[in-house]
Structure 1
């Protein structure tokens, strides 16, 4: 009798311990990189984000606690309906546990909503809309690299303090552009500047001449480019062709080193913009930059570096918890400090905002650049607490009042 009771107890113990040791759904950890592989954000995110995520997976040896990591990718084509349909397919049919990147804020909002409904993790490294950590915050969303508040706050405040007080905006006509223009306008006005107007252009516009003529006629000191990727590149090209830059200062509110490379130093020299990461900042960033360059033949930008970091932190949380359960993984990710090639002494705040320093960068002149991809110099480091929206202003329902 005692022996049967003992065997029963052992069996129950194994039954209870089994799920704890193997709490990875389907015995596979699936991460989906949803990005722009064919459009305006191809160089900004695109294949570079896929490769960065792949590097993170490889650094884990392709497995976590003996469980295989599977990486899949999709092109959302900058269309929210396509992104949403693909996310539903990934979550319902393919067993995807986390989705990462999501350049284009309309797509990011649609996909993160679905991830939250399905209790899957959304690691937003390419999207910028502040709604992710405000009205649409969720226990399953991490806004990792930057947002419209930090882009506006760093660049807008710095430029107004330097005497550039009158602004006119050239704005991409969708959620991201509207949010970036609004946030920057508020920063400009709060610091004593004025906004003289704005003009909206369609995503992936082919001709910026009429928009820039309106900006030119405003006679504003600053033309704020509330767009990104191919649109910011084409805006700057057209501004140089129209002779706007000698009389008005262009500020790229969302630029990366990829844009500088595409345009060249001659067209971008002395431009200032907000950045979250630069490959030549320290030994860790240079080492990652070299690894990425060896694969892609170009240096990574902040989105690529952020994607690597976000995927790495997600996998570390699974390793620590022994589970890909979204609630457990998110709790672990918010518990630990982040110290890697992307950020030091960083952390994920209760609203899902990843808190790290931001930087004001200036593009070097051709004479200042000493080697390929030696494009930027640091103007100012802005601590996380100053760069990002304070919790006291948050509209996130998860923030304790």
Structure 2
């Protein structure tokens, strides 16, 4: 892959080149002159830029862009400039995501593939990348199968599995708020595996599932599902929606007054969602995968400042996902001094994130058996407004990923090396 030459259609998509980092590289002028004549190392991001998950996808892109800028400022990858090519997978058309993945790998000759927010798309991209022997770092697709039953030697994942998320919060919900749960579940891979994770916890604790409503992706009117939830008289209504669907469902739940009669909760929650809600709808118990306000975390302030400068806002977990995925590929390539996918995949087994990339307590690492990142998870509750602007989540406890992840033997992952 080192011999690749640039394709001729780069004007139709977002491209970040080493030239964009010239200002940051003034102290390394000899590298700049050399780099201008080098074939770039290409990172291809296949992520939703339109539809329900557009904001999440765009924030992951910003994280990737920041990483590319920093990578180039530090000398690039193998002494060559790094370049980001971005394609819109859409939020709901898996066929488009597959087409874009093939385009990025086969025509644009990317060295690394990144994405996707949508779990079904992440699974499909894993199959394509495996077929074409390209390293894929999944940014934000959570369904367990990505690093479970559908795992591949070339696929690694930054965001948590759905089981890690449900395991981190289930016992708290059961002990503090009650044992009868109703689920509002998006009808695709992500929602299904989240619900299955919670159901496993209910079975373990001796609780009861009093009902569930499967909701299409992109639903705007949740009234019929909320009426069904109310009629079931649960102790807890578990919302598994994400993106714009989470905003719509939670906003309408408060309009119905359900929060006054039942506890509202879920697993994965995101700052993008809480920002999109009116203050009175910032409620419930949730899990954050990364949060911008943490105490005594090295390099965190620099990252927050860099995202603010670049995007005009505080960073979210999605910024962090894109940032970590991009840096992961660059770091391991520079460490191993190669772009060979098999060699890099083997080197990533057990690979630890340095503090300036981890941006959280402890040391996140990619587990050797299933290629799943083992970070911390942040369990807490939404607040209408915290002590500082843009602070809508209070962290009650920090849970280690290794403590809530299924053992590799129980994930269904059996990696076969090509």
The two structures have a TM-score, normalised by structure 1, of: 0.89
* Structure 1 residue corresponding to 2:53, chosen from 41, 44, 47: 41
Rounded Cα–Cα distance in structure 1 between residues aligned with 2:278 and 2:349 = 40
Shift of 1:25: 4.8
Rounded Cα–Cα distance in structure 2 between residues aligned with 1:286 and 1:237 = 32
Rounded Cα–Cα distance in structure 2 between residues aligned with 1:244 and 1:39 = 28
Report the CA distance shift for 1:286/1:218 in structure 2 as closer, same or farther (over 3 A): farther
Rounded Cα–Cα distance in structure 2 between residues aligned with 1:171 and 1:24 = 47
Q: Is the 8 A contact 1:204 1:231 kept in 2?
A: yes
Secondary structure, in 3 states, of the residue corresponding to 1:64? coil
Identify the residue that residue 276 of structure 1 maps to in structure 2: 289
Confirm whether residue 71 of structure 1 aligns to residue 81 of structure 2.
no
Confirm whether residue 298 of structure 1 aligns to residue 313 of structure 2.
yes
Report the CA distance shift for 1:250/1:226 in structure 2 as closer, same or farther (over 3 A): same
Shift of 1:255: 1.3
Rounded Cα–Cα distance in structure 2 between residues aligned with 1:238 and 1:388 = 33
Rounded Cα–Cα distance in structure 2 between residues aligned with 1:397 and 1:371 = 46
Q: Which runs of 4+ in 1 moved over 6 A?
A: none
Confirm whether residue 322 of structure 1 aligns to residue 337 of structure 2.
yes
Post-superposition CA distance 1:326-352 (Å, at most 9, x none)? 112222222432133434412111211
Aligned pairs for 1:307-386 (under 5 A) are 307-339=322-354, 340-343=357-360, 344-350=362-368, 351-366=370-385, 369-386=386-403
Shift of 1:202: 0.6
Rounded Cα–Cα distance in structure 1 between residues aligned with 2:179 and 2:399 = 21
Post-superposition CA distance 1:155-214 (Å, at most 9, x none)? 222211224211000111111111111111111221222111101111010211001110
Q: Is the 8 A contact 2:358 2:364 kept in 1?
A: no
Shift of 1:31: 0.9
Rounded Cα–Cα distance in structure 2 between residues aligned with 1:198 and 1:396 = 28
Q: Is the 8 A contact 2:182 2:236 kept in 1?
A: yes
Report the CA distance shift for 1:326/1:25 in structure 2 as closer, same or farther (over 3 A): farther
Rounded Cα–Cα distance in structure 1 between residues aligned with 2:301 and 2:383 = 18
Q: Is the 8 A contact 2:279 2:384 kept in 1?
A: yes
Rounded Cα–Cα distance in structure 1 between residues aligned with 2:405 and 2:210 = 25
Rounded Cα–Cα distance in structure 2 between residues aligned with 1:298 and 1:36 = 20
Identify the residue that residue 58 of structure 1 maps to in structure 2: 69
Post-superposition CA distance 1:108-160 (Å, at most 9, x none)? 11111100111111111210110011111111111211121112111222211
Identify the residue that residue 238 of structure 2 maps to in structure 1: 224
Confirm whether residue 287 of structure 1 aligns to residue 309 of structure 2.
no
Shift of 1:304: 1.6
Post-superposition CA distance 1:88-110 (Å, at most 9, x none)? 11111110122213011111111
Structure 2: gaps (5+ residues): 6-38
Shift of 1:35: 1.4
Rounded Cα–Cα distance in structure 2 between residues aligned with 1:161 and 1:123 = 36
Rounded Cα–Cα distance in structure 1 between residues aligned with 2:204 and 2:132 = 40
Identify the residue that residue 9 of structure 1 maps to in structure 2: none
The two structures have a TM-score, normalised by structure 2, of: 0.85
Rounded Cα–Cα distance in structure 1 between residues aligned with 2:287 and 2:411 = 22
Secondary structure, in 3 states, of the residue corresponding to 1:61? helix
Rounded Cα–Cα distance in structure 2 between residues aligned with 1:31 and 1:342 = 22
Structure 1: gaps (5+ residues): 1-21
Identify the residue that residue 25 of structure 2 maps to in structure 1: none
Aligned pairs for 1:2-401 (under 5 A) are 23=2, 25-26=4-5, 27-43=39-55, 45-61=56-72, 63-77=76-90, 78-269=92-283, 271-281=284-294, 282-339=297-354, 340-343=357-360, 344-350=362-368, 351-366=370-385, 369-398=386-415
Rounded Cα–Cα distance in structure 2 between residues aligned with 1:220 and 1:161 = 14
Q: CA RMSD in A?
A: 1.9
Q: Is the 8 A contact 2:298 2:359 kept in 1?
A: no
